[in-house]
Amino acid sequence: MCGELGKLKWRCRRGIKELDVLLTRYVERRFSSASRVEQEAFSELLESQDPLLYAYCFGSETPPAQFAALIERITAPER
């Protein structure tokens, strides 16, 4: 699992600082406890182009239904 998380963190490096922070934080704090369905959705979400992913995460574009709850978890404020 450690190697898998390392690969995911690498895939989270998008070159847009805001996305890098959100996606890496999700992997570090929530991915391991997420359901298998959510983990698969996250991997699929990472296939999105950067501008679209940014738009989903920062609210300028409505994400597809299969990503909506995941985007909410990714962008939820830290507690």
Domain that holds residue 68: 2-75
Structure tokens at 56: 């989903």
Q: How many domains does the chain have?
A: 1
Residue-level pLDDT at 2: 67
Q: Report the predicted TM-score, pTM, of the whole model to 2 decimal places.
A: 0.89
Question: Which pairs count as long-range contacts for 46-53, CB under 8 Å and 24+ apart, including other chains?
Answer: 46/8, 46/11, 46/12, 50/14, 50/15, 50/16, 50/19, 53/14, 53/19
Give residues with Cβ within 8 angstroms of 64, minimum separation 6: none
pLDDT digits (tens, 9 = 90+) for 27-46: 999 999 999 999 999 999 99
Structure tokens at 69: 């709850």
Q: What is the CATH number of the domain that holds 29?
A: 1.10.150.250
Residue-level pLDDT at 44: 96
**Which residues of the chain are under the pLDDT cut of 70?**
1-2, 79
Do 24 and 12 form a contact (C-beta atoms < 8 A)?
A: yes
